[in-house]
Amino acid sequence: MYILWILLIFLALFIVRIVKGPSIWDRLLGLNLVSLKVVIIIIIFASFYELAYLLDFAIVFVLLGFISTIFTARFILERIKRGRN
C-alpha cells in the first residue's frame, strides 16, 4: 500500500503544476496527469481489495479524461487562432 502514498504525492505535485503552470499547455498536461494518477490509484485499490466493479469506474474515468483533454485542447487552439489569448 506504500505505492498509493507515492502516487498521492505525485498527484499533489501535478496539482501544483496545474496551479503554477507558466502556460495553458502546462496546465492541460497537469490536468491530464492528475486524471491518469487517479485512474491508477483506483485500479490499485480495486485489485488490492478485490473490487472488480471499480475497474468499470476506472474505464469510464479514463474515457472522460481523454475526451475532456481533447475538447479543451481544441478550445484553446480555436482561441489562439482567433487571436484571443
Q: What is the pLDDT of residue 72?
A: 93
Q: Is the pLDDT of residue 51 over 90?
A: yes
CA gap 31, 69 in Å, rounded? 8
Could you count the other beta carbons within 10 Å of the beta carbon of residue 31? 19
Q: What is the pLDDT of residue 46?
A: 94
- Considering the entire predicted model, what is its pTM? 0.82
Model confidence over 11-49: pLDDT tens digits? 998 898 889 989 988 999 999 999 999 999 999 999 999
Q: What is the pLDDT of residue 41?
A: 93
CA gap 22, 24 in Å, rounded? 7
